[in-house]
Structure 1
Amino acid sequence: MDGIDREIIRLLKQDARRPNAQIAEAVGLSPSACHRRIKLLEQSGAIRGYTVLVGAAEGGDGLANFLIQVTLDRQTEDYLSRFEHAVREVPGIRECFLMTGGADYWLRVETEGAAGYEEIHGLLSRLPGVARINSSFAMRDALRPRPSRR
């Protein structure tokens, strides 16, 4: 992966729907060469997929993001493997990272408000090896523009 590939990824992370011609112009490639690079990045796994970020509907609660730290009883390979296998079955978990530091895992959960989170919390507390769960609620994504108030 070179600097052009990293710039393509940076641009796609900002807006994955950006037209190929705009990306090509920004990185100094022809549209066909840029398209080939994007396809190679996808095939190599550097780009694993694309997603849609959904905001709150007008007048509704919409989806809420929770960041959850999970600490296991033990950090043996067996405990880690059992937890990782089980967490894949919990709906609403969008990302799960094995971490260094105080918690063993950080999860990003997307759910319908507090009631949806309560359900996921109950499921997480019953997963193998879970000793402690510490959660935070995301008030806003600071990298996204705030909607205008009418």
Structure 2
Amino acid sequence: MNKKIAILTVAMLASIQVHAEADWRIVGQTDGAEHALLYDKSSIRHLSDGKIGLWTRMLFRDRQAYAKQTYQQTTTHGVIDCASLDWTIDYFVYSGIDGDVVFSGPLKPPAQLPDQAGSMQEQLGHVVCEDGKQSESATTMTSLADQAVVEGMAKRFMRGGQASRPHQ
């Protein structure tokens, strides 16, 4: 782990409260934004029909590329409007016997959702600003690209694999 990634990891860990049993992993970059994923190992539950589930929290950080504009590139139902462009998404994910990962409702449902989001709230996550204050425009859903990142990392975690190294 190089110095840049180590510093980034420390900054991310300091930005939210981390459970003692949680596991932070840097998972990559998209359009200049760093992604990190927090697995709460203490939340693992063995569900019926051979399923296993756990809470995850994904944190996106970008203080340079989009420092003076709203972060539109990774959302599907609106624009994130936060003073800081650090934001998190909470998921409950579980996998079935066939290995597919399914997304369940957010840990803290947003007060309002865009009309076009519909039932997607139950499948994906919600967006909150780093300071915990959720702006009206931050009740957006994540894009399929973000969903794929979380899905891939959840599969690796549930199979005991290692996280991929971030892109340089």
Q: Is the TM value for this pair above 0.5?
A: no
Structure in which a larger fraction of residues adopt helix = 1
Instruction: Report the TM-score, using the length of structure 1 for normalisation.
Output: 0.29
Higher strand share: 2
Give the TM-score normalised by structure 2: 0.27
Larger Rg: 1
